[in-house]
Amino acid sequence: VSGTWVGKRLLTRYLYGLQPEELAQAFGETYGVTREEAIRRVYRESGANNWLASFAPFLSQHHGHEWIQQTLRAGFSEFFELCVRPIMPPVPLQVHFVGSIAFAFEEALRASGKVMGIEVGHVVQRPIEGLAKYFRQQG
């Protein structure tokens, strides 16, 4: 799950009136995005992925809301189903994650993995952290 994925999901559900009312109001007040702007930014301009990812902080601001938690769990479950399960060996292994979305929402990531029967191992925000630690240990 990427910032772009969650941003697209938030924006789409906002524009189609599928967010809970209190979240839709907060999203609208925070971003003030219109359907016309969304179409222009996504389909006619470059950098759509960065623009969509810019909505990800909304998740952190409202992470306690059940709809946000469901959205995150759905995204992580979809990722496990499409990207992890097809390549899992017969012997169970831990799956490790790098990235700000995995790091910020580690609890939902681990819960989704547990439901899917996949053990989540290390979760780091930036790959350099793990590399630096590894090379310090080697030195």
* Token pair recorded at residue 7: 């941003």
Higher pLDDT: 92 or 22? It is 22
Query: Could you give the C-alpha distances from 138 to 13, 55, 121, 124, 133, in angstroms and in order?
Result: 48, 39, 21, 20, 9
* Band (128; pLDDT cuts 50, 70, 90): confident
Quote the strand ranges of 1-139, DSSP E: 95-98, 120-124
pLDDT at 131: 80
Please tell me the distance from the alpha carbon of residue 47 to that of residue 89, in angstroms, as a whole number: 37
pLDDT at 129 over 80: no
| Between 129 and 69, the higher pLDDT residue | 69
Tell me if 49 sits within 8 A of 4, measured CB to CB.
Answer: yes
| Average of per-residue pLDDT across 83-101 | 89
**Mean pLDDT over residues 132-137, rounded?**
84
pTM attached to this predicted model: 0.81
